[in-house]
Structure 1
Amino acid sequence: MSNHKGRRNFIRNSAVIGLGATLNFEKVLPTVLKAEGKPALLGGAPLVSTPWPKWPMWNRETDEPLVLEALRSGVWSRAKKVALFEEKWAALIGAKRALTTVNGTNALITAVAQSDIGGGDEVILPPYTFIATLTAILNAGAMPVFADVDPDTFLIDPEAIKKKITPRTRAILPVHICGLPADMGPIMQIAKQHDLVVIEDACQAWLAEINHKKVGTFGHAGCFSFQNSKNLPIGEGGAIVSDDEVFMDRCVSYHNLGLPYGTASARPGSKLRLTEYQAAIGMVQMERLVPQTVTRNENARYLRQQMNNIKGIVPHILNAGVTQAAYHLFPFRYDQRHFADLPRAQFIKALQAEGIPCSGGYTPLNDIKNLGNTFETKNYKKMYPSSELSYERFRENNQCPKNERLCQEAVWLPQNVLLANKSSMDVIVSAIQKIQKNAAAIHKNTSK
């Protein structure tokens, strides 16, 4: 299984059954802060035997009435509940308008397509992101250009963006990956200087803020995902937000078969409408989002502080001005030199064995195989000279060495872990310390 496809399965499987909608994790506390004993990977008792908070959360008594109302109404296609969800989401994010789509991928596809981005244009994106970001660019017939990341933040580096701008650059797609806000101040300055469109991929960054302004509202448009693993889970779903009324009219038209809407005349389109019962689920989940986001930030802040005391564990750094992150994932880097050269894959297995859900995250998106057969399609061959469709040239022009290293060192914890109590963060730290203390033995006995 590829890391791109495995991300959702990892998050879903890590949200094991047990605690329902509560945030308690008290049963774990007797094992806290003791890094003694044989590692679980070598047959010892795991530090965690009680499941972490279940995801997604659902309360039959409080959550089902609105959904049942939608089902029993017989009005299942887009109608009043979808419009109300969009109104509530726009208000929560701080945008004039929101438009729902069938998923976050198509929110990105729609936003790119209706920003007049197409064949011959170059669009700058980070290599550390889900494949949907790249898909939106390729779907428009544009050429992706990868700018390297800052490994400390896991996010696109504005200085790297500057180096990738050419006369053909049309847009920047910064990604607030893991729910960590990208450095939007400098990015917007670069865009203004070069007259570029900025579409924020906020598909993992609901309610994340820079100086109390929500991400997704800095650029021309912002895109969100409500897939089942996400912090606002609907099953599938997405949304675009923007203050540009004309642009949003075009997006509405595009998502509804290209039919005229508002200021938008008829155009090539698709059918990407959300359903009424999905909107009902979304409005129920939206009620939880604010308090859950606060809890995730409080626990993440404490966990970062504690991890800083472990040599070889380098937690992410938030960009200056970040007042709130979303924490769809809690990422940190692993330096095996401080763990008796225990490979990252074995460290992850050892941590999982102790009862801590985790994964290694993304592989480099700028790897040419992620482009599939795009450069071999008839349209790309007609839009670009053969020299630009050379795999070797593309690889040479899109090297991102910092991202290569990040992909080798990164470890992710899923967001539902951060919904446990503060003492549960100490369990995570204790598990890492236990592995570090026994790293040589784990390396010796698992490398055979």
Structure 2
Amino acid sequence: MKAKNFTRRKFVGTVSASTLGAVAIGSIPAFGATKTSNKLAILGGNPVRQNKSWPDWPYVDKNVMDSIEKTTQSGIWCRIQDRENGTVVKFERQYAEMMGVTRCVAVGSGTQALHTAVEALGLGPGDEVITSPYTDPGTIAAILSARALPVLADIDRYSFQVDPDDVERRITKNTKAIMPVHMMGQPADLDRFLQIARKYNLFLIEDACQAHFAKFRGKMLGSVGDIGCFSHQSSKVISCGEGGSIISNNAELMEQCYTVQNHGTSKFGRTETIGPKYRMNEFEGAILLGQLPTAMERHAVRNKNAQYLTSKIKDIPGITPQKLYDGTEEGSFYLYTMNYNKEEYNGVPREKYLKALAAEGVGLSPYIKNGLHREPWVDNIMGRKEYQQMYGKSRLEEFKQDMACPVCDLVCDEEMVMLWASGPLLGTTDDMDDVINALAKVYENRDQLKSI
């Protein structure tokens, strides 16, 4: 839709019948309805969304509570107390089945899952792993904990995913793996990453910590590469406060993952390798087990609502829903994200735009403040004796000099906006219409933004 033809009055005609009904009865302000309806709420107008709340999160129901109570009363609180029928073992079996793989190993966090995978693949001192700067610090913590070198490649401006072309540019003789991060719960460009992994004989580690049940070309994310890792931290769509899981169809690799996370001790009781103690406890397993029976119902609601949002938001100038790659079938929608183009809003910076939306009752926000290439860990490892010995001064200097990720900087500083989605995307169509109408109202009244 061309900007000059866009008005919210016209746009309201494209949203759902439920929205139009709400406008008719006055629960959603239509332009022209009051003296202040053409005014942004932050400047005294009527807000689009008032006195409404989003669905609660984390998800709790009777099934979850019963599972916790049963575990408490059992006295079996550690996974090694019941290696056959404990809650952690049951979760591993059920989650593996849901993800379409043969094996799952549960651990204490997504970071622990990634570190376990890195160690199990034999990556360590002298090895390089290429990943994204636009991610949680746990992604690189997993690599650093193995004393490997995290090499950061820039991202795509509209998908927010690590850019395969920049990944390939950064491959060296010491590169052993690539670790694409499925940001916001959407697939990275896996067709390209599979091609790159085959071409250079590299491991493909999927950081799917945000991407539970997302599907790419008929496969669940995490099952496409050599190994996949998930987080079950409280904000995630399958959550237990903290927690993580690892999946793969490679039986030998998964046995090694079990051994690594069990302080290097195999299922046969022999201490065989170096490993931390990353075991998931039975209470975390109980919470996850309680959620699994209805998890796909919530997954379907998020996808339905996300598709609805995208179908309407794509016609609002200056706000672009996250780009999805060919092969994407379903997303986790841990976050629903968009790209903000300030040029369509008369150069108004993102901060003012977000303040205007918040006043309308729809709170969007940036996500990651700084790409990891701008964080102090880079200088920290440059000064560490072990990294100097393992990689050499010249490689470390080259590593730092080639750290620039300008697209990531643009996304972090100016463009990315998001609706946290684990809870909000479980809302009603009327809730989604509130988001759409708030975005449309702010665009139509964009000339007022400079007054904020």
Alignment correspondent of 1:397: 402
Q: Which moved more, 1:231-240 or 1:296-305?
A: 296-305
* Aligned residue type for 2:225: G
- Give the 3 Å change call, closer, same or farther, for CA 70–26 of structure 1 in structure 2: farther
Alignment partner of 1:75 is 2:76: yes
Alignment of 1:3-402 (within 5 A): 30-32=26-28, 34=30, 36-49=37-50, 50-59=52-61, 61-78=62-79, 79=82, 80-261=86-267, 266-362=272-368, 363-371=370-378, 373-390=380-397, 393-402=398-407
Contact residue 313 and residue 436 of structure 2 kept, 8 A = yes
RMSD, aligned α-carbons: 2.2
Q: Cα deviation per residue 1:253-284 (whole Å; 9 max; x = unaligned)? A: 11112113359861111111111121111011
Stretch moving more, 204-213 or 161-170: 161-170
Q: Is the 8 A contact 1:25 1:424 kept in 2?
A: no
Q: Provide Cα deviations, 1:81-106, integer angstroms capped at 9, x if missing partner.
A: 11000000111111111011111011
Letter in 2 for 1:53: P
Give the aligned length: 419
**Larger mean Cα displacement after TM superposition, 242-251 or 375-384:** 375-384
Write the letter of the residue equivalent to 1:433. Answer: A
What do residues 44-83 of structure 1 show as CA deviations (whole Å, max 9, x unaligned)? 3432221011111212x33311210100111111131110
| Partner Cα separation in structure 2 for residue 372 and residue 328 of structure 1 | 32
**2:411 matched residue in structure 1:** 406
- 1:267 and 1:62 map into 2 onto residues whose CA distance is 39
Q: Counterpart amino acid of 1:389? A: L
Aligned-partner SS, 1:99: strand
Which stretches of structure 1, 4 residues or longer, exceed 6 Å deviation after superposition?
A: 24-29
Letter in structure 2 aligned against 1:440: D
For residues 345-374 of structure 1, give each alpha carbon's deviation from its aligned partner in whole angstroms, at most 9, with x where no partner exists. Answer: 111122122221321111222225243622
The 3 A distance-change label for structure 1 pair 265 and 271 is: closer
* Amino acid aligned to 2:42: L
Q: 1:434 corresponds to which letter in structure 2?
A: K
> How far 1:229 sits from its partner (Å)?
0.5
| SS of match in other structure, 2:234 | coil
Letter aligned with residue 306 of structure 1: K
**Residues of 2 paired with 1:366 and 1:34: CA distance?**
45
Q: CA 1:306/1:399 → structure 2, altered by over 3 Å: closer, same or farther? A: same
Percent identity among equivalent residues?
A: 35
Give the TM-score, by structure 2 length: 0.88
Instruction: Kindly provide the amino acid, as one letter, of the partner of residue 406 in structure 1.
Output: V
Contact 1:25/1:420, CA 8 A, preserved across alignment: no
In structure 1, give the amino acid aligned to 2:118: V
Contact 2:64–2:286 under 8 Å retained in 1: no
Give the Cα–Cα distance (whole angstroms) in 2 for the partners of residues 372 and 282 of structure 1. 39
The answer for the alignment partner of 2:15 in structure 1 is none
Alpha-carbon separation, structure 1, partners of 2:121 and 2:19: 46
Q: Once structures 1 and 2 are overlaid, which stretch shifts more, 220-229 or 293-302?
A: 293-302
Q: Give, as a single letter, the amino acid of the residue that structure 2 aligns with 1:380.
A: Y
Aligned partner letter, 2:344: H
- Residue type of the alignment partner of 1:70: T
SS at match of 2:355: helix
Q: In 2, distance between residues paired with 1:25 and 1:285?
A: 32
Match of residue 14 from structure 2 = none
Q: Distance in 2 between matches of 1:137 and 1:438?
A: 47
Cα pair 2:338 2:416 within 8 Å, conserved: yes
Distance in 1, Cα, partners of 2:70 & 2:375: 48
The answer on whether the counterparts of 2:63 and 2:291 sit within 8 Å (CA) in structure 1 is: no
Specify whether residues 33 and 244 from structure 1 end up closer, same or farther in structure 2 by C-alpha distance, changes over 3 A only.
farther
Kindly state the Cα deviation for residue 218 of structure 1 after the two structures are TM-superposed: 1.0
Q: Is the 8 A contact 2:263 2:274 kept in 1?
A: yes
